[in-house]
Amino acid sequence: MAPKPHRVLLDRVSGYADEAVAYLRRRHHTRRPFARVDVAGGHGASHSADDERGRELFRAAAEVIETARERR
């Protein structure tokens, strides 16, 4: 017996939701700290914390994040 149409729709939506949840879980596990700076003309580069300029960028970002904890 063929499934009712609304059951097919529900199964399909559930399938998409499961895929989205799995994607977000993978993203949380794999995403590491990073820094990216873009300049005029659409050029940009990623910076790691391995060099002094990258470290300074991460230090400055940590200060911004810390400052945001204080409200007006």
Partner 1 sequence: MPDRPAQPLAASPSAPAAEAAIDRLQGMADDVRGCAILDPEGAVLAASGPRERWGLAASGLLAAADAAAGEPATEVHVATEEGEAFAVRERGFAIVAAAERFTLASLMLTDMRAVLRGVVRSAPAAEASAARSVARDEA
d(CA 33, CA 24): 16
d(CA 27, CA 9) in angstroms, rounded, equals 27
Nearer to partner 1, 11 or 63 (CB): 63
Please, which residue, 6 or 29, has the CB nearer to partner 1? 29
Interface positions, 7-66, toward partner 1 (CB under 8 A): 27-28, 31, 33-40, 44-45, 47, 53-54, 56-66
- Residue 46, strand partner residues: 36
CA distance 55 to 33: 11
What residues make contact with partner 1 under the rule CB under 8 A?
Answer: 27-28, 31, 33-40, 44-45, 47, 53-54, 56-72
